[in-house]
Structure 1
Amino acid sequence: MNRPPLSVLLVEDHPTIARQVAGFLDGLGWQTDHAATGRLAIELATRHAYDVVLLDLNLPDIDGLEVCRQIKANAPSNVPVLMLTARDAFEDKARGFRDGADDYLTKPFDLRELALRCEALARRGQLRLRQELQVGPLTLLPREMRAAYEGAPLALTQTGFRILLQLCREHPHPVSRSVLVRHLWGDDPPDSDALKSHIYTLRKQLEQASGRKLLATILNLGYRLDLDAAPQDG
């Protein structure tokens, strides 16, 4: 069978299962990253765009349901999550779906079925992501992590794109600093005020592209896109 290559994040702390699953998916020509802890899974999923996340619920540091919630809240795109677990009771499955899971596969499972489910989830996710996010003159493509102003590409960093994506999703409402910090770095933010630096860079890039001050600071709260801002003099 000719399978399109997928990018998969495998979150599994059992080394034998991880080797078996990763080896099978690599054999299909897919790109597989592996995380043995919930913390690493959240870091990878919020910094890279995957087609599917395969998530074991029994992790050594963070419960898999919480990992799922964090990924769904903070990933750069709405990546599908397929939960892999020995918890087969209806109540466990219900909790998984309520916390954002897109599919559920109980152990032991057939690796061929796992691949089929991944393909089905990826197709659904790709159909959603083909839709551009259009906010006024701004166009964002979440999957490619690309943005444009009035059709002209914006040369944003990955972090700058993720900030702009969050601002566009919430527009015209403001986004608090705490929400942005959590979105970018989860529970382990940098010691320095990294957000302020990224906001400064993004603001200058938007001003250069538009001739307007599109990124407004809301005192004691955070930031908001001001798409009705007047053109700057000169």
Structure 2
Amino acid sequence: MKVLLVEDETKFAAFTAKGLREHGFVVDIAANGDDGLGMALLGEYDLLILDVMLPGRDGWSILAEIRQRGLEVPTLFLTARDAVSDRVRGLELGADDYLPKPFAFAELLARIRTILRRGPVRQPSVIRIGDLELEPARMSASRGGARLDLTPKEFALLHLLARRRGEVLSRHFIAQQIWDMNFDGDSNVVDVHIRRLRLKVDDPFAQRLIRTVRGVGYALDDWA
């Protein structure tokens, strides 16, 4: 899952992003409203987390603009403004939830998962490829009815491959999406995680789903 966090408090943004990444999310950060709007319009995000009071454009206007343009990406306001009128305004603009600061990170995570579980139609609640099933909102996967014991990064990698079913994804693209990093040709981080993922997703089963395209990258599909 790819998240855009629009937050001008540097330490708060870094702490929140770190926690989300540890739970398998890919997180981009915008430190002001204008950058936040631009990234929201150009990026393919599964969730927006917006502060209200931001340098430049505020969170209200960001949400109003993206809704006016027909973008239904789920949105959570995360702000110190906790008056009832502020919450009502956010929900009326089309926010999915409103969490006032300070908060427990566990609550933020639970609210995010709830939003994604009931998210827009474009995000299926279950992704099926052959006998492989993924439930993105619960970050769970199973194959042949048996639950797969995946780490958050392994699930994020499998989910990325499943969402782009049949497409050959380059190592550079995978590294950007999963590790939020520029791929170094000498790095084997993608290959190592693919190998670990195969041990759980492919090796115990007769049919392999993860395919290597030599010199290019990886793809996932039911090739039967």
Task: Establish whether TM, by shorter chain, passes 0.5.
Answer: yes
* Aligned-partner Cα distance in 2 for 1:143–1:14: 28
Question: Does the aligned pair in 2 maintain the 1:82–1:104 contact within 8 Å?
Answer: yes
Q: CA deviation at 1:109?
A: 4.7
Q: Which of residues 154, 163, 167 is equivalent to 1:169?
A: 163
CA gap 1:180/1:13 in 2 versus in 1, 3 angstroms: same
Percent identity over paired residues: 26
**For the pair shown, which has the larger CA radius of gyration, 1 or 2?**
1
* Secondary structure at the counterpart of residue 140 of structure 1: strand
* Aligned-partner Cα distance in 2 for 1:160–1:89: 33
Say whether 1:146 aligns with 2:140.
yes
Alignment of 1:22-171 (within 5 A): 35-37=12-14, 42-48=17-23, 57-58=31-32, 63-65=35-37, 68=40, 73=45, 78-86=46-54, 87=57, 102=74, 109-115=81-87, 117=90, 120-121=96-97, 125-128=116-119, 131-171=125-165
* Aligned-partner Cα distance in 2 for 1:11–1:90: 12
* Aligned-partner Cα distance in 1 for 2:143–2:76: 40
Say whether 1:195 aligns with 2:190.
yes
Question: Does the aligned pair in 1 maintain the 2:172–2:183 contact within 8 Å?
Answer: no
TM-score, reference length from structure 1: 0.60
* Secondary structure at the counterpart of residue 213 of structure 1: coil
Q: CA deviation at 1:12?
A: 3.8
CA gap 1:111/1:70 in 2 versus in 1, 3 angstroms: farther
Q: CA deviation at 1:169?
A: 0.6
Number of residue pairs aligned between Structure 1 and Structure 2? 191
Q: Give the unaligned 5+ runs of structure 1.
A: 1-8, 16-33, 230-234
CA gap 1:144/1:101 in 2 versus in 1, 3 angstroms: closer
TM-score, reference length from structure 2: 0.62
Question: Does the aligned pair in 1 maintain the 2:24–2:153 contact within 8 Å?
Answer: no
Question: Does the aligned pair in 2 maintain the 1:174–1:222 contact within 8 Å?
Answer: yes
* Aligned-partner Cα distance in 2 for 1:92–1:143: 25
